[in-house]
Structure 1
């Protein structure tokens, strides 16, 4: 197997370098799970509709921790389990993720399934959607990381 040469070793292009970290769809779906779907446990991420395999999920979670987008703490109910959460660096992706959602709403609307409360916010006030999402993440952290 040939080793992957990261873009940062070839180019200073910000898009290419960013794709080294977030360039596969599983990574963005894990970030989505943590950001919008309140899925903070490995087992809950495995249950997502996209059906990620356990080996890919394990690998991606480890890579995201190494890259500084997520962190984990032991689960309060069992030291064998972890709770994953977004770091400030990971939370900063909310703007990119929201823009992807807005792009999809414009171009892929026939295929989308967005909860009504989120749909209304996205239609009327995307900034408020972002603010509420960040508040929810902060609330989760205060409740689970204290």
Structure 2
């Protein structure tokens, strides 16, 4: 098996370097779960319709943490469980993620399922969708991250 060589070791292209961090669809789906769906637990991510395997999910969560896009904290109900959340670096992907949704809605509308209220925002005011999502992320952080509630 050939070892993966990261683009940043052989290219200064910003797209190639970004793909080293978020270039597989599982990583983007984990980010989607945290960003748009409010899914913060491992067990709930395993239940998603894409059917990610536990080993791949574990790997992606570790990689995203290593790369500083997500972090975790102990679950308030059980120290054995964790809550995952986006860091500021991960939240900065909201613009790219929203554009992917806009593109998919435009070019793959027959195949994608977007909740009606979000579909209207995507088609009429994507910036408002971003604003609402950022507010939801902030509210979650104030609820679960002690230093954010101050």
Q: Tell whether the structures are fold-level matches, with TM greater than 0.5.
A: yes
The aligned counterpart of 1:26 is 26
The aligned counterpart of 1:14 is 14
Deviation at 1:120, TM superposition (A): 1.3
Deviation at 1:112, TM superposition (A): 1.1
Q: Give ranges in structure 1 of 5+ residues lacking alignment.
A: none
The aligned counterpart of 2:82 is 82
The RMSD of aligned alpha carbons is 0.6
| Secondary structure in structure 2 of the residue aligned to 1:111 | coil
Q: Does residue 103 of structure 1 match 2:85?
A: no
Q: Give ranges in structure 2 of 5+ residues lacking alignment.
A: none
Deviation at 1:26, TM superposition (A): 0.2
Q: Does residue 120 of structure 1 match 2:120?
A: yes
TM-score normalised by structure 2 residue count: 0.96
| Inter-partner Cα distance in structure 1 for 2:145 and 2:83 | 9
Runs of 4+ deviating beyond 4 Å? none
| Inter-partner Cα distance in structure 2 for 1:112 and 1:17 | 28
| Inter-partner Cα distance in structure 2 for 1:2 and 1:106 | 38
